Amino acid sequence: MSRRIRVGIDTGGTFTDVVAVDEDTGELVTTKTPSTPADPAQGFLTAIDKILGVLGVGGEALTAVSHGTTVATNKLLEGKVENLGFITTEGYRHLLEIARQSVPDGYGNSYFWVKPARIVPADRVKTVRGRLAVDGSEIRPFNHDDAVRAARFFRDCGITTIGVCFLHSYADPAHELAMRDVLSAEHPEAVVSISSEVLREYREYERAITTLVDAAVKPSITSYVANIAHRLAEFATSQSTGAEGAGTRDVPFYVMKSNGGVLSAAEVVHQPITTVLSGPAAGALGAGLIAKAAGVRQVLTCDGGGTSTDVTVVIDGQPALTTEGTVGAYPSKIPMIDVVTVGAGGGSIAWLSPEGTLKVGPQSAGADPGPVCYGKGGAEPTISDAHVLLGRIPPHLLGGEIPLDADAARQTIESLAGKLGRSVEECATGILEISAWNQANALRQVSVKRGLDVRDFTLVTFGGSGSLLACRLVDILGLAGVLVPPNPGNVSAFGLLTVDVRNDYVRTHVVRQDRLDPARLSAVYAELQVDADSALQREGFPAGERGFVRTADVRYYGQAFEVRVEVGDGELEPAVIEQVAAAFHAEHRRLYGYHFADDPRQQVEWVNVRVTGIGPIRSPDVGPIEAGSGADSARTGTRRAYFDDWADVPTYERSRLGAEDMIEGPAVIEEFGSTVPLHPEFRADVDRFGNLRIVRSSS
């Protein structure tokens, strides 16, 4: 009987991480390989080839591949969204200019805040006559002549990426569909996104921006996914052995979405904006599953990569979700895991401000040329160079595949230290201290700013650089401790194997609860469920396996923003509607410290109704490891390392540690894809699942 292997691949800036699970035995295998920024597909295929080689199987064993990609994220973070066109309702040409009043705290680093450039300049906005009322009824008919003129304008200007957002199209998409038909006839090469398909809810500005972001990333995502899918099929066919390898093999290919689910490549190209936080979402889900299995209920996740660190909150295995997220400068009002990103990765560059103070990030050396210690032409000191200089990471990566040049790292940091008038050790320590505070501030944003007491949380660190500052973060934030999963560099890839297919559908339905018509509301939910059911059918899930979750965005009458609560299954009887109101009062109190449940004058108002369709995919099990024989059996020697002073510090090979082994700091715990520097007065205990539990020795 041939083996059945499912693979998760997370493509980062420096390394491509891969995890494979044998669907029959549950065996997990991990590895990683350098990313190939010039051709990400090459690194993707190299990773698959490498993991199959570890397992000793051919391409015929592949049953599915799930992928986390940064294509959409990078495009938005780098601001590469030029050459867009926008079509909206007559009289609303300056919708993007008016926007929302949103001034950053402290006005950034200057005395005056300058409003950022619009995603589409005013001279590339065209309007079309026609108007719908708030309930979708037509006030003025769609003007075909205006639509043709707008389409020809963009065609003649060579603008091939266009977003369409008409007033109140969430209530009836007829005018937007007509506009798309005109664009198809007059400007067939244009890539078009319409708001009624991207975000069918009210608030014109957010709906317009989200639609334009979807249009901006659609060409890149479509091209990337098609390329990967094609080359994956070619690879699986060429690497298959025996009779089973005959013919072309189309391996099921899924892409991670921002909402914590995956979607097939064929479907994701129609909703590319849903991938904008693809990689961070997978990491949060993988970390949440590992922490829940280990009995840790409240965690903060810290996913450290080569360019940035992503942090989020996970409670009972479920990451916090939001529809108020942003990517780069662009708000994206789609369901996404609530992630905060800070430019504090291993490749983040240390530099001097004009005032002569030390700064770290957000600029990064990336994968090419990378940190100076990589020996690939990097010239500026980075966080990784500081760790190498201080002996906190080994003189190589990936078990020796990538040697590191410690002397080059020292030379570049010596140059920076000279400008600061500090010793090289003080400079390197300062680089790490600033990086730790940058990460701590990001962790405060997802905890303290959300009304959570950070001292109640355990930090789960993963990613190649996620655990390097774990001990310092405990001291800065007063955390309960740190949990470092096995193979932390591959947690995001592992997370890709733990998630279900998920599709979200939303419809604005603003009505006060005392005026709510249960029959009409039920009809809206039924329409959304039909859409979700059809999508799951296209994904190949039998009717009996399709699941649906109903939620609603609810607020007090007069509020500007909503709270999401679950709506039970079955008929929307008065008792069910009252349960929704009670759940809203309780959630409002949890979030803001008060509610109006006992004030009959304060009405509850429903705003948006949502249905999430779920197609279940089996998650790999998190199993126990064998008992250890004492940490000394995993000791590999000593290395000169700096923790306030130079000392000979013991080093350990993590793969040789067993359950109940314990290590006292200072020490350095090494493994294939990551390193854990254990500071003095800290200890690491190995739990029965192989996680390192780091606490202060006095705890």
Least confident interval from 54-58, 419-423, 473-477: 54-58
pLDDT at 104: 59
pLDDT at 43: 85
Residue 149 belongs to a domain? yes
Phi, psi of 630 (to 5 degrees): 105, 145
CA atoms within a 13 Å half-sphere pointing along the CA-CB vector of 457: 26
Residues 174 and 268 in one domain: no
Residue 622 belongs to a domain? no
Residue 685 belongs to a domain? yes
Residues 445 and 312 in one domain: yes
Taking only the tens place, the pLDDT of each residue in 213-237 is 999 999 989 888 888 888 888 888 8
* Residue 404 scores a pLDDT above 70: yes
Residues 532 and 606 in one domain: yes
Residues 427 and 465 in one domain: no
Residues 111 and 186 in one domain: yes
Which carries the bigger pLDDT value, residue 16 or residue 291? 291
Q: Which is nearest to 65 in space by CA: 50, 45, 38, 36?
A: 45
Residues 560 and 513 in one domain: yes
Residues 545 and 511 in one domain: yes
Query: 460: helix, coil or strand?
Result: strand
Instruction: Tell me the pLDDT band of 4, cut-offs 50, 70 and 90.
Output: confident
* Residue 566 scores a pLDDT above 80: yes
Instruction: Tell me the pLDDT band of 3, cut-offs 50, 70 and 90.
Output: confident
CB 281 within 8 A of CB 299: no
Q: Looking at residue 527, which CATH number applies to its domain?
A: 3.30.1490
Q: Rounded to whole angstroms, how far apart are CA atoms 196 and 213? A: 14
Q: Provide the percentage of residues in the chain whose pLDDT is more than 90.
A: 57
Q: Which is nearest to 692 in space by CA: 663, 649, 650?
A: 663
In this prediction the pTM is 0.84
Residue 634 belongs to a domain? no
Taking only the tens place, the pLDDT of each residue in 615-642 is 998 888 888 899 989 999 999 999 999 9
* Residue 392 scores a pLDDT above 70: yes
Least confident interval from 197-201, 323-327, 342-346, 396-400: 396-400
* Residue 78 scores a pLDDT above 70: no
Q: Looking at residue 225, which CATH number applies to its domain?
A: 3.30.420.40
Residue 640 belongs to a domain? no
* Residue 529 scores a pLDDT above 50: yes
Give the domain range for residue 425: 348-434
Residues 144 and 108 in one domain: yes
Taking only the tens place, the pLDDT of each residue in 410-421 is 999 999 999 999
Residue 104 belongs to a domain? yes
Residue 199 belongs to a domain? yes
With residue 674 as reference, give the H or E element that holds it.
none
Which carries the bigger pLDDT value, residue 154 or residue 55? 154
Residues 17 and 92 in one domain: no
With residue 695 as reference, give the H or E element that holds it.
strand 692-696
Q: Rounded to whole angstroms, how far apart are CA atoms 180 and 164? A: 8
Residues 467 and 338 in one domain: yes
What total number of domains does the chain contain? 6
pLDDT at 107: 46
Mean per-residue pLDDT, 442-446:
91
Residue that finishes a domain, picked among 414, 434, 454: 434
Residue that finishes a domain, picked among 384, 401, 434: 434
* Residue 608 scores a pLDDT above 80: yes
Q: Rounded to whole angstroms, how far apart are CA atoms 53 and 50? A: 5
Within 135-225, strands assigned E span: 138-140, 161-165, 191-194
Task: Quote the mean pLDDT of the chain.
Answer: 89
Residues 483 and 522 in one domain: no
Q: How many CB atoms lie within 10 A of CB 388?
A: 26
Largest alpha-carbon pair distance within the chain? 81
Question: Taking CA 293 as the corner, what is the angle to CA 290 and CA 8, rounded to the nearest 5 degrees?
Answer: 35
Residue that finishes a domain, picked among 434, 455, 487: 434
Taking only the tens place, the pLDDT of each residue in 306-364 is 778 889 999 988 888 888 777 777 888 888 888 888 878 888 899 999 888 999 988 88
Least confident interval from 73-77, 271-275, 545-549: 73-77
pLDDT at 26: 82
Residue type, 189: E
* Residue 114 scores a pLDDT above 80: no
* Residue 248 scores a pLDDT above 80: no
* Residue 245 scores a pLDDT above 50: no
Residue 284 belongs to a domain? no
Mean per-residue pLDDT, 126-134:
96
Q: What length does the chain have?
A: 699
Least confident interval from 224-228, 545-549, 550-554: 224-228
* Residue 110 scores a pLDDT above 50: no
Residues 98 and 171 in one domain: yes
Mean per-residue pLDDT, 378-400:
87
CB 331 within 8 A of CB 211: no
Residues contacting residue 609 through CB under 8 Å, at least 6 positions apart: 506, 507, 509, 521, 524, 525, 528, 550, 551, 552, 553, 567
